[in-house]
Amino acid sequence: QLIQFLGKKPISNVLVSSVNAKAEKSIKDHLEQKNIRHHFLDYKTLKMIFDVDEPEQLGADRIANSYGALARFPLNDSIVVDIGTAITLDFVAKEGRYLGGMIYLGSDLCAKALA
């Protein structure tokens, strides 16, 4: 579906944030075939300091959220809340430091547990 969507749009650059390694190859192959400049988001390539024990365990979604918070609110420390399948909270210092976060059950699973 994504490849079909991309085929209908004039795109010159793409930043991919993915937690689906299987889909990444298909997306990368398609972007290369269409000669579209692209970059896959990776904590090692960002101008951020990940001040946690195992930054490689941090999901691409949380990295993207944190980077977005720094771009949108560069003068403030940020607490980033993402409500989806899981609920995540991440703390980002305005100096560009990811300082950690938490993962909670998503709202669907919480509702089922209460029922």
Q: Which residues belong to the active site?
A: 61
Among candidates 111, 97, 87, which has minimal Cα distance to 66? Answer: 97
**Rg from Cα positions in the chain:** 16
Pairwise CA distance, residues 64 & 15, whole Å: 10
Amino acid sitting at position 63: I
